[in-house]
Structure 1
C-alpha cells in the first residue's frame, strides 16, 4: 500500500517560474529517491508558504524521505517543517478522481 507524505513550511521565495528555475535539480533528485512515485509541488506567494504532496511505495520509504527532506530544508534555513505521513483511502480517492492507483 502506498503512503502519502504532506510537507509545508514558511518560504520567502522564489515562486512560480523562478521556483522552477531554482529547484529543477532538486526535483530531478527526488525522482531518484527509493520508493518515490510522484510529487505535487505547492506554493502560495501571498502567504509565503511552500511544500508538496508526495506518494511513496512503502511507509519506510516515506519515513526515510521525510527525515532526509526535513534535514535538507533546515539546512536551507527553514525553521519549522510540518511533515506528516498518511494512509490513503483508495475507494474514496478513486470516487473523487484522485491521482492514485493501487500498486
Structure 2
C-alpha cells in the first residue's frame, strides 16, 4: 500500500506551540525590519526546529507557530517569551501546546524538520 510506509514510521513526538497576543504594530515589511534581530535570536532557542511568524492587523494580534523537539523546550521558550512580552506591557497571551502526529503530517507534506 502506498501510504503504509508513513504509518510504519517510528513516532517521534515533537511539540507544536501556538502563541498569539495583542500587538499594536508595526505590520508587514515594517515588522520584518523591526524584528530582524529578534528573529535571529529565536533561531538559537534550545529545541526549536522552526517558527512561522503570524500577524493580523485587523485584530491587532501577532504571534507564531513553533515546532520544538519536545514539550520541555516548548514550555521553557513560552516561559521566557511570556516574561519578555510582559516587560513590554503585553498581556492576554494565548498559548497552546499540541503533540504532532508525524506519520499523518508526513503524508500531507507538513514541515517536520529544519531546512
State the TM-score, normalizing by the size of structure 2: 0.82
Q: Which of 1 and 2 has greater Rg?
A: 2
Counterpart-to-counterpart distance in 2, 1:58 and 1:97: 20
- Per the TM alignment, residue 16 of structure 1 is displaced from its structure 2 partner at its CA by 0.4
Q: Match for residue 34 of structure 2?
A: 22
- Per the TM alignment, residue 36 of structure 1 is displaced from its structure 2 partner at its CA by 0.9
Counterpart-to-counterpart distance in 1, 2:49 and 2:104: 20
Counterpart-to-counterpart distance in 2, 1:2 and 1:90: 8
Counterpart-to-counterpart distance in 2, 1:71 and 1:83: 13
Q: Match for residue 25 of structure 2?
A: 13
Report 1:62-101 matches (<5 A). Answer: 62-101=74-113
Q: Match for residue 40 of structure 1?
A: 52
Gaps of 5+ in 2: 1-12
- Per the TM alignment, residue 49 of structure 1 is displaced from its structure 2 partner at its CA by 0.8
- Per the TM alignment, residue 94 of structure 1 is displaced from its structure 2 partner at its CA by 2.2
Q: Deviations over 1:47-77 (max 9, x none)?
A: 1111000011111111100110011111112
Gaps of 5+ in 1: none
State the TM-score, normalizing by the size of structure 1: 0.91
Runs of 4+ in structure 1 deviating by more than 4 angstroms, as ranges, are: none
